[in-house]
Structure 1
Amino acid sequence: MARKLTLDFLKTEAASGAVLGLAALSALIVANSPLAEAYFSWLKGVHPLQVGPLFLSMSISDWIKEGLMAIFFLVVGLEIKYEILKGELSDPRKLMTPVLAALGGMLAPAAVYLAIASALGGPQNGWPIPLATDIAFALAVFAMVGRGLPPSLRVFLLTLAIVDDLGAIALIAILFSQGVAPGPLLWVAGLLIVGAVLSRRRIAAPFWVLGFGAVWYLTIQSGLSTSLTAVAFALIVPVGHRADDRQSPLKEAMHDLHPYVAYLVLPLFAFAKAGVSFAGLGWEQAFAPLVIGIALGLFLGKPIGVMGAAWLASALKIGKRPTDASWLQLLGVSLLCGVGFTMSLFIGTLAFPGAIDSVVQVEVKLGVLGGSFLSAVGAAVVLAAAGRIRRKELAEEASSTGVH
C-alpha cells in the first residue's frame, strides 16, 4: 500500500513538471510583452474576502503566497507524516543517507552563497534561498532522463526532497515570522491541541476542513507564516483506525489535494512569481552578487552538499547508497536537487519582502531561474549518460549469460 501511494505521488508530481514549466515560461513571456503592465497590476491588486464577521484583505500575490501555498505545505506535511509512519522513512536504515544528504544539501548552498556574498558585497540575508529543492520539477526531469536507472534513485530523491522541504519550512518559521500577535497564536495552539486529542476518535472529514480553515485564518491574524501551521495541522490529521486505513482522513486528503496542488496551486504560484521583466536590465544587474550567490548556491552548493554527505554516510557505514545505484547516478540526482524553483522563489519573497517587480525581487528570480536551469541541464546530461552506461552493462550481462 505504501509503495503504491509513493508511486502515485511520483507519477502525479512528475507529470505536473510540464505544467510548471509552461506556467513559468508563460510568466516570462507575459512579463516581457505589452501585457506586462496588466500582469504586474493584477498581482498587486488588493482583493478582500469576507465570510460573516471574518474579513481579510490581501493582494493577489499575497493570497497566492499565504493562501494557496498553505495548501501546498499541508500536502507536504501529510506526505512527511505518511512516509514516517508507513512509507520509506519508517525504516531507519533507508532514512539515514537521504536525511544526511538533505542536511548537507542545506549547509553547503548556504556556505557557497555567504562566501560569494562576502566576496562580492551581496546581501547576507539571502542565504536561505538556495537551500530548497522543488520536488515536482526535480521528479519531472528525472522522469524524462531516468529511463533504465534503478527505481531506488526515485525513492532517494523523493525522501531527500521531503526532508529538504521540512528543513526549509523550519527555516521559514524561524526566520520569517516576526511580529507575531500572541492572542491569535494562542487560539492556533489551542485548536491544534484539540485536534490532536480528537484525532484518536472517528471524526468526519468536514471537521478537518473547517479546522484547517480556522487555523489558517488565525495564523494570518497572528502574523505567523502559514507554512508552519499548515505542516503542524497535517501532523495531527489521523492516519486511520483500521489496518488498511482506507477511510483515513490523511489518505483522503492526500488523494484529493494532490491534483489541485500539482496542477493548480504550484503552476499558479510559478506564474505569479517567475515573471521577470527584462526591460532595462543590464549586465550589471544580471550578474549582481545576489544573482550569482543564489545561482551558484543551487548549481554548485547543492551537489557538493548532497554528494559529500551521501559519501560520508557510506564511508562511516551509517548509511548506504540506494540499491543498485552507482556514484555517477547519485551525482546526477545531487545535481537535480539544485532545481529550487518554486520553493526557492517562495523563500525569496520572504527573505526580501516588498514589491514583486522591485530590483531585489528581479535579482532573486534571475538567480533562482538561472541556478535551477543550470542544475536541470547538468543533471539531465549526467543522468542520461549514467542511464546509457547502465543499459549497456545490463545488455552485456545478459549477453554473457545467454539471456535475450
Structure 2
Amino acid sequence: MISHRKYANELAVRFTKLMSSDATSGILLIFVALMALFIANSSLGHGYHELFHHPLGWRPVARLDTLHAWINDALMAVFFFVVGLEIKREVIDGELSSPARRRLPVLAALAGMAVPALIYLATAGTALPAQRGWAIPAATDIAFAVGVLALLGPRVPASLRLFLLTVAIVDDLGAVAVIALFYTARIEPVWAVTALGLLVALVACGRLRVPFMPVYLLLGLGLWFCVLNSGIHATVAGVLLAFTIPLRPMRGRSMLLKLEHGLAPWNSFLIVPLFGFANAGVALAGIGLAGVLDPVPLGVTLGLFLGKQIGIFAAILLADRLGFASRPEGASWIQLWGMAVLCGIGFTMSLFIGALAFPGDPHLVEEAKLGVLAGSLLSSLLGFAILRLAPQPRRAGRTVDAA
C-alpha cells in the first residue's frame, strides 16, 4: 500500500511538472494545429466546419451565435485578461519597471511590428481588401516561442529567454492597441459610454483598494458585455480589466498574482489550444499548398519569417552599437539572431488578427491562416536550428562573442 501511494505521489509530481512546463504548452499548440489541419482536409472537414460555425440553438448572448464566436470573443477575452495581468506586473514590478529595462525590448518590439507590416504591404499591396491584413504578421506567440526555447534546455541562456518574453509582452500590448484602433468597424455610443462608466468604477475600486475579487470580476463581466456590443472588439475589455486589478498585497496577498497564477494553466492548456484548434484548420481544397504564393499568404509568410528577424535583430544591433542599450548579458549575436527568428512564430495572435482583418471574406481569412502557419513553421524550424547549433559563449571573466 505504501509503495503504491509513493508511486502515485511521484506520478502526481511528474504530471504537475509536465503541465507547468513551457515545452509542454508549445508542443500542445503544435499538436492541435496539425490536428486541425488534418481534420479540415479529411472526410471530417465538413463536420469540423459545422461544429464551430453552425448557428447555436440557444444564444444567451445574441452576438455570440456560434461556438467559434464564443471562443474568439469570450474565451479569448480571458486570454487577453491574463496577458494584461502579465503586462501590468512587468511594468510595475518586472522587466519593464524602469526606463533602462524598457529601452531595448520596447525598441525591438516596435521594430518587430513595423518591419513585418511593411514587408506585408510591399508583398500583398496597399489595395483593399488585402491592405487590411498588414497587422497579421506583427504579433509573436509567447507560448509557442517559449515552448521552442524550452525544448533547447540549458543551451539557451536565461537572459535570452527573459528578453524574448519581454519583447513578446510589449508585442502583445501593441497588438491589443492595433485591434482597438484599426479593427473597430463602427462604435455604438450608448454601449461605449456604459463601458466607459464601468471602467471608471473599476479604476475607482483599484484606487480605493477594494479587497473583494468578485466586485472586480462582476464589473469586468459587465465591461466585457458592453464592449462586445459597442463595436470595439470584446477582447480589449480583458486587457482593460486586467489593468485595474491591484498588484500590491491586500490582506496578505496580491489579487493580481493570485488571478494570474490561477488562470495561467487554463490559458496555456485549454483556451489557447482550443482557439488554435478552432482557427488553424485551413481547408486547402480551395487554395492548395501553392496558394501560399498568393499575395496575402505570401505577405504574411514573409512578414513573419523575414520581417520579424530583420526588425528585431537590427534594432538590437543598432541599439548596442550606438550605446542606446546593451544586448542581453551572456547571449551571443548568433543566439540573438535565433531568438529574433523565433519571434516570427505568430500563431495565436496572428490567427486572431487575420480573422478580424477580413470579416466578410472567408477565402482571404483561410489564405491568411495558411500564411500564418507557413511563416510560423519556417520561423520555429530555423530558430530552433540556429539556437541548437550556435556555439556556447565562453566565459573568461566576461562573455566572449560566439558570433
Task: Please report the TM-score for the alignment, with normalisation by the length of structure 2.
Answer: 0.89
Letter in 2 for 1:237: I
**Gaps in structure 1 of 5+ consecutive residues:** 1-7, 399-404
Alpha-carbon distance between aligned partners in 2 of 1:111 and 1:46, rounded to the nearest angstrom:
38
Aligned match of 2:356? 350
Contact 1:48 1:56 (C-alpha < 8 Å) held by counterparts: no
Contact 1:48 1:57 (C-alpha < 8 Å) held by counterparts: no
Alpha-carbon distance between aligned partners in 2 of 1:49 and 1:263, rounded to the nearest angstrom:
27
Contact 1:141 1:380 (C-alpha < 8 Å) held by counterparts: yes
Residue among 223, 237, 241 paired with 1:215? 223
Letter in 1 for 2:74: G
Residue among 289, 292, 311 paired with 2:295? 289
Matches within 5 A, 1:159-308: 159-199=166-206, 200-241=208-249, 246-282=252-288, 285-308=291-314
Alpha-carbon distance between aligned partners in 2 of 1:211 and 1:352, rounded to the nearest angstrom:
31
Alpha-carbon distance between aligned partners in 1 of 2:292 and 2:156, rounded to the nearest angstrom:
37
Aligned match of 1:153? 160
Contact 1:122 1:290 (C-alpha < 8 Å) held by counterparts: no
Aligned match of 2:106? 99
Aligned match of 2:69? 62
Deviation by residue 1:94-120 (Cα, 9 ceiling, x = unmatched): 221111000100111011111112399
Contact 1:240 1:246 (C-alpha < 8 Å) held by counterparts: no
Cα distance, 1:63–1:79 mapped onto 2, change above 3 Å: same
Tell me if 1:123 matches 2:127. Answer: no
Cα distance, 1:121–1:145 mapped onto 2, change above 3 Å: farther
Secondary structure in 2 matching 1:202: coil
**Gaps in structure 2 of 5+ consecutive residues:** 1-16, 398-403
Residue among 353, 357, 364 paired with 1:360? 364
Aligned match of 1:3? none
Letter in 2 for 1:87: G
Contact 1:74 1:231 (C-alpha < 8 Å) held by counterparts: yes
Alpha-carbon distance between aligned partners in 2 of 1:126 and 1:56, rounded to the nearest angstrom:
24
Q: Percent identity?
A: 43
Alpha-carbon distance between aligned partners in 1 of 2:268 and 2:125, rounded to the nearest angstrom:
37
Aligned match of 1:5? none
Aligned match of 2:3? none
Task: Please report the TM-score for the alignment, with normalisation by the length of structure 1.
Answer: 0.88
Residue among 382, 387, 403 paired with 1:383? 387
Q: How big is the shift at 1:228?
A: 1.8
Contact 2:74 2:235 (C-alpha < 8 Å) held by counterparts: no
Which is worse superposed, 231-240 or 370-379? 231-240
Q: Give aligned pairs, total.
A: 379
Contact 1:14 1:143 (C-alpha < 8 Å) held by counterparts: yes
Alpha-carbon distance between aligned partners in 2 of 1:318 and 1:13, rounded to the nearest angstrom:
32
Alpha-carbon distance between aligned partners in 2 of 1:251 and 1:275, rounded to the nearest angstrom:
34
Aligned match of 1:402? none
Q: How big is the shift at 1:48?
A: 6.2
Cα distance, 1:122–1:231 mapped onto 2, change above 3 Å: closer
Aligned match of 2:320? 314
Alpha-carbon distance between aligned partners in 2 of 1:298 and 1:198, rounded to the nearest angstrom:
40
